[in-house]
Structure 1
Amino acid sequence: MIIGGAQENTLLNCLDLVRDYGDDVLLITGPSVGPEGDLLSQGRAGDLPVRILPNLLRSIHPSRDWAASRSIRQAIREFKPDVVHTHSAKGGMLGRYVAWDEQVPAVIHSVHGAPFHPYQSAVAREFFRRCEKWAAKHCHRMISVADAMTDLMVKANVAPREKFQTIYSGMDVEPFVHANDHRDAVRQKWGFENHHVVIGKIARLFHLKGHDDLVTAAAEVVGQNANVRFLLVGDGILRPSLKKRIDELGLTHHFVFTGLVPPTEVPSLIGAMDVLVHTSYREGLARALPQALIAGKPIVSYDVDGAREVTIDDLTGFLIPAQDTGQLARSLVQLAGDEPMRRRMGREGQSRFTDQFRHQTMTKEIRHLYGEVLASKSPRPV
């Protein structure tokens, strides 16, 4: 339960099921290790029962994974659930296998992003594809956070299309609706002046997140509009190398790094922005995109996975081919120099997506799917 979109989605779903529907819910997770921070330590789980399994870790480790599956099995036997709903690659593999073997009436898996992608070796990609295809046979239905995830999984022959249903990843939208309430104070805190146009990116400083592409584009953007500033929200292993390249390009005064921030600060940081940019090479549907739109900010995004489902060209922002730093720069220059366009796109995004991404909407649709599976008298799919 590190700080991340899939994790927040899972926590909100669990809390909604308890508070709004009176369901009995047990959240099973592994230790929250890594630099991203921990959702549970912030007290956001409230009274939700949580069981942390020490051996349930991200990396593949046969003996630990076997121990984790035994712990999951014990938890399922004690809790006796009607539904097991799994998330992430490791949790999805082990959880589906054990729940299916224990004949849990409804086994559901959410696809937040495929574990196989073009930036792996062919051997690794095929291995993870086969793992997902095997795991898909051990659940009744699969939830995609974007239509693009369904298309990707079906094309890879993981499971037939009828096994999937798209349910967008929900969030608490109110802080983003009110993201601009403290705009001036937050901009002042981070050193931005009234005439600065702030382009923000929210992502770990990690591989495949496209920060280097943004730095490349930034040189052209700043060359055409010296008032542009870039706000990078997040931290990670690439921070030293990114800072070095920014310094070499003479862009030091145009970039601000926030480091790791708690999720509660993200809305106000988006409020301080004028544009949000998303240059990740792969991601199911980055939560930062609807968050920015709900806050009334236009977006510029690479055309990857589910981004096109919220980045509607010339309506809510600009959708561009991945790694096309020239078009990235041109789109950012255009938005930076056109405040009426930014306002128009921001209003359009806010009206389109605020209700769609409410976590209560997500949970209602998920719980309806649980009911469909539980009510079905058909034999188990193969």
Structure 2
Amino acid sequence: MRVLVCPHQLGMGGSQLNAIEMASAIRKYGHDPVVYSAPGVLTEILRDTDLEWVQAPAPDAPALAWSRGLAQTARDLRADLLHVYEWRPSLQAAFSSVRRLPTLMSVMAMDVPPFLPTHLPLVVGTPELQRRMLAQGRHAHLVEPPVDLGLHQSTGAAATAAARERWGIPDGALVISAVTMLTTALEKLQGVLEAIRVADRMAATRPVRLLIAGDGEGSEAVQRRAAAVNAHHGWTVVQPVGFQLDTSSVYQAADIVLGMGSSALKGMAHGKPLVVHGEAGFWKTMDEDSAPEFLDAGWYGRGGAGIGDLARSLEHLAADPAVRRRLGAYGQRLVTGRYGLDTAAEQLASIYVDTALERVDRSTMVRSLARSAAGSARYFTSMRFGSVVAREQWAREGAIA
């Protein structure tokens, strides 16, 4: 099938990388994907895959430019199926002139915005979220976030030494790595700032290097805080390295990885022990006891003691290399056995066939779109005129602006 794949953008992020990697991998199952998206920092990765790419306006461009371009591209390519990622492209596709084209939505956030059309099939990334969507009457498939094991996999002590040399990390330093967007969405920035505070404390008693890869609106705050901590100690404790197109060396250099979602999985793929970050002070070490909740609900969480939990997790892991090795090997086995890119691509190939064969009657579609229009209107009104609390509530429901 000719599949038009629409990531919501080509900026750095797990969903966008997932869209590109899955589009590339799906070709071995006989599908012919074409990517429709505005350019961004991931354009280089997209070009390296040799996927056909149609450049789109930004999804929030005025005058429905994105939707009109989508319709024209679908006609020109004679697309058989549309695969849209995240809520904004999903809405625009549902209300555009391609609404009769078989369409699959993927939402890789930790929740699904309630205003998304209910008549379109949906892909989510955790078993717990799939169960909730099925209970709401949605047609929900499960494809867990895939990891390219050819790129993200531990290659031994020599590779770790080379990665540390690249980043100028001295022998004997305990390296804590975080690959994340420096944004307030899902409290990622807050988590990085908490990690800087803990690294500052730990540096009083041992050589520590907190290696931070990523950018966003919080970059300046992170740079300022890192400079202050480093000046206080007289050596580099916190090392922000900005956006990295290839993050493998950041993971490989680590003794411990901090992260959520696909970043957490990539850290484990490299054989590193993981402390999972979430919202409202959530930090928890991935181990044999906590793994079942993460496998079911996703590599994320809500609620905790914040910096206290993070400090206890890092101190415990820092003090015991044997525990780090055991948990690193355990996490690597989980990722290798469950989250490989080939496994996910095979699942998606089957979902594409089901989606193409599915038919929705007109009355069901009309009711779904009417409900979606009313809900999305409330969302956009809140974004423009609502309180900070209202906007935060929408973000918790997956409608991250």
TM-score of Structure 1 vs Structure 2, range by shorter chain: 0.7 to 0.9
- 1:84 paired with 2:93, answer no
Q: Which residue of 2 aligns with 1:262?
A: 245
Q: Which residue of 1 aligns with 2:332?
A: 350
Give TM-score scaled by structure 2 length.
0.75
Q: 2: CA distance between counterparts of 1:327 and 1:2?
A: 31
Q: 2: CA distance between counterparts of 1:53 and 1:319?
A: 32
Q: 1: CA distance between counterparts of 2:255 and 2:239?
A: 15
- 1:199 paired with 2:176, answer yes
Instruction: Give the Å deviation of 1:331.
Output: 0.6
- 1:51 paired with 2:70, answer no
Which deviations, in whole Å up to 9, do the C-alpha atoms of 1:33-80 show, x marking residues without a partner? Answer: xxxx2334663231x2211122x33x4x5x33x222122112222223
Instruction: Give the Å deviation of 1:335.
Output: 0.3
- Equivalent position amino acid for 1:215 in 2: I
Q: Which residue of 1 aligns with 2:147?
A: 171
Q: 2: CA distance between counterparts of 1:276 and 1:231?
A: 10
Among 308, 320, 335, the residue aligned to 1:326:
308
Q: Which residue of 1 aligns with 2:268?
A: 293
Contact 1:298/1:349 (CA < 8 Å) preserved in 2?
Answer: yes
Alignment of 1:17-166 (within 5 A): 17-18=26-27, 20-32=28-40, 37-40=41-44, 43-46=47-50, 48-54=51-57, 56-57=58-59, 59=60, 63-64=62-63, 66-98=64-96, 101=99, 103-104=100-101, 106-113=102-109, 129=113, 132-133=114-115, 135-139=116-120, 141-150=121-130, 160=136, 162-166=138-142
- Equivalent position amino acid for 1:238 in 2: G
**Kindly tell me: are residues 323 and 80 of structure 1, through their superposed partners in 2, closer, same or farther at Cα, counting changes over 3 Å?**
farther
Q: 2: CA distance between counterparts of 1:193 and 1:308?
A: 27
- Equivalent position amino acid for 1:267 in 2: S
Q: 1: CA distance between counterparts of 2:143 and 2:17?
A: 15
Among 162, 178, 192, the residue aligned to 1:185:
162
Q: 1: CA distance between counterparts of 2:226 and 2:253?
A: 22
**Kindly tell me: are residues 309 and 336 of structure 1, through their superposed partners in 2, closer, same or farther at Cα, counting changes over 3 Å?**
closer
Q: Which residue of 2 aligns with 1:121?
A: none
Give the gaps of 5 or more residues in structure 2.
1-9, 369-401
Contact 1:228/1:336 (CA < 8 Å) preserved in 2?
Answer: no
Instruction: Give the Å deviation of 1:269.
Output: 2.1
Instruction: Give the Å deviation of 1:183.
Output: 1.3
Contact 1:311/1:319 (CA < 8 Å) preserved in 2?
Answer: no
Which deviations, in whole Å up to 9, do the C-alpha atoms of 1:19-44 show, x marking residues without a partner? Answer: x1232222111232xxxx23346632
Give TM-score scaled by structure 1 length.
0.78
Moved more, 293-302 or 315-324: 315-324
**Kindly tell me: are residues 148 and 217 of structure 1, through their superposed partners in 2, closer, same or farther at Cα, counting changes over 3 Å?**
farther
SS at match of 2:338: coil
- Equivalent position amino acid for 1:259 in 2: G
Give the gaps of 5 or more residues in structure 1.
117-128, 279-284
Aligned residue-pair number: 339
Q: 2: CA distance between counterparts of 1:343 and 1:244?
A: 33
- Report percent identity of matched pairs: 20
Q: 1: CA distance between counterparts of 2:312 and 2:108?
A: 30
